[in-house]
Amino acid sequence: MWVYILKRVLLMVPTLLGVLLLTFAVIQFVPGGPVEQAMSQLSNRTSGGERAGPDASYRGRQGVDPAQVEELKKLYGFDKPAPERFLAMLTSYARFDLGESFVHHKSVWALIQEKLPVSISLGLWTFFLSYLVSVPLGIAKAVRAGSRFDMVTSLLVLVGYAIPGFVLGVALLVLFGGGSFLQWFPLRGLTSPNWDELSWAAKITDYLWHIALPVTASVLGSFAVVTMLTKNAFLDEIRKQYVLTARAKGLDERKVLWKHVMRNALIPLVTGFPAAFIGAFFTGSLLIETLFSLDGLGLLSYESVMRRDYPVVLGTLYLFTLIGLVTKLISDLCYVWVDPRVRLDA
């Protein structure tokens, strides 16, 4: 077991380096970087023109003093060769120093901590509701396979899966968020402006009131995968010989289902549980956050790419890739915990 874990940890290092190296190399050839944007703004201010957008190219060099260009390069760290900058970045990341944002003038860690509550709120509610609804529903569908209940629920979850979350969000806002019909829920934010003045009970009610529509738009499409996976896993186990033997011995059907079938059928779900749980903390939905005016990690990542905020792009990529690799290792170890027949050294 420990040898396997050591091998996996050692394999994480080249994987992480490869991801960072590839992204860093692509960044070197993307036009409209922070230096180019700053020069474009200086050029437009000098000439009295309009301010350039985030995709401005090197045309901003016209009319800018070369000394200012060198100062800008030094300010953003582009006065050094690319290999030297890459090694300096790796050294900082080894100390878990993710750098400082060019745009927000804050550390990347501070930005992540600032945006994390929104992503956690959406992710955890989506995660728990998906499993709490989908697993019992999948078991019920397996027990009643081929019945009208099975067909109707399959149709409902597949329709929910087919509807994009942002389309459902628009429909919810129009219907219940003060659009053309009812105004039952707020349009934006996780809390009301007077949040600090509310009592604890009122704060909980206010939070649930604000989170209802975004969570509904996020969670509906996630029911289908877990539900059908649970159903198929239970059907595979129910048809096996040991279940027929247990029934032949006169065991109660409920005991057969929950004591014998459950453990083997939930192996695919349990092994995917760590990745889904950790992902709930760091998964940001750009469209949902934009639609409901939620300032989370999804919006931060999009704005960082569009505004060429390279420390945020690379810092979050490093952190999320590392978390993903560790979570994958934990998921693989769960196979041994759930099914002792699995041998990692085989």
Q: 95, 124, 151 — which closes off a domain?
A: 95
- Altogether, the residues listed in the chain come to a count of 346
Q: pLDDT at position 186, please? A: 81
Query: Domain of 327?
Result: 110-338
Q: What distance in Å separates the CA atoms of residue 232 and residue 145, rounded to the nearest whole number?
A: 10
Beta-bridge partner residues of 183: 177
* Position 280, amino acid: A
| 61 and 120 both lie in a single domain | no
Q: Does any domain span residue 20?
A: no
Q: pLDDT at position 31, please? A: 73
pLDDT band at 14 (very low <50, low <70, confident <90, very high): very high
Q: What angle do the packed helices 310-338 and 82-94 form, to 10 degrees? A: 50
| 242 and 272 both lie in a single domain | yes
34's CB contacts (< 8 A; 6+ apart) are 76, 102, 308, 309, 310
Number of separate domains in the chain: 2
The answer to whether 49 touches 60, Cβ cutoff 8 Å, is: no
| 59 and 134 both lie in a single domain | no
> pTM for the complete prediction?
0.73
The dihedral sign for the CA sequence 289, 293, 299, 303: positive
The answer to whether 300 touches 312, Cβ cutoff 8 Å, is: yes
The answer to whether 254 touches 143, Cβ cutoff 8 Å, is: no
pLDDT above 70 (res 281): no
| 50 and 133 both lie in a single domain | no
Q: pLDDT at position 28, please? A: 76
131's CB contacts (< 8 A; 6+ apart) are 226, 269, 273, 276
Q: pLDDT at position 185, please? A: 83
The answer to whether 294 touches 258, Cβ cutoff 8 Å, is: no
Lowest mean pLDDT among 2-16, 151-165, 169-183, 218-232: 169-183
pLDDT band at 25 (very low <50, low <70, confident <90, very high): confident
| 311 and 222 both lie in a single domain | yes
Q: pLDDT at position 53, please? A: 47
Q: What distance in Å separates the CA atoms of residue 166 and residue 168, rounded to the nearest whole number?
A: 5
Q: Which residue has the higher pLDDT, 9 or 281?
A: 9
Q: pLDDT at position 51, please? A: 44
Q: What distance in Å separates the CA atoms of residue 293 and residue 272, rounded to the nearest whole number?
A: 31
| 175 and 71 both lie in a single domain | no
* Position 296, amino acid: G
pLDDT band at 154 (very low <50, low <70, confident <90, very high): very high
Q: pLDDT at position 155, please? A: 93
Average pLDDT over residues 248-253: 82
Mean model confidence pLDDT for the chain:
80
Q: Which residues of 133-149 are buried (b: 16+ CB within 10 A; e: fewer)?
A: bbbebbbbbbbeeeeee
pLDDT above 90 (res 277): no
Q: What distance in Å separates the CA atoms of residue 158 and residue 335, rounded to the nearest whole number?
A: 29
pLDDT band at 156 (very low <50, low <70, confident <90, very high): very high
Q: 61, 95, 129 — which closes off a domain?
A: 95
Q: pLDDT at position 306, please? A: 82
Q: pLDDT at position 301, please? A: 83
Share above pLDDT 90 across residues of the chain, in percent, rounded to a whole number? 5
Q: Which residue has the higher pLDDT, 28 or 231?
A: 231
- HEC readout, 130-142: HHHHHHHHHHHHH
pLDDT band at 65 (very low <50, low <70, confident <90, very high): low
Q: pLDDT at position 50, please? A: 47
- For the segment 137-146, what is each residue's pLDDT rounded down to a tens digit? 998 998 888 8
| 173 and 313 both lie in a single domain | yes
Q: Which residue has the higher pLDDT, 213 or 29?
A: 213
Q: Does any domain span residue 269?
A: yes
Q: pLDDT at position 116, please? A: 84
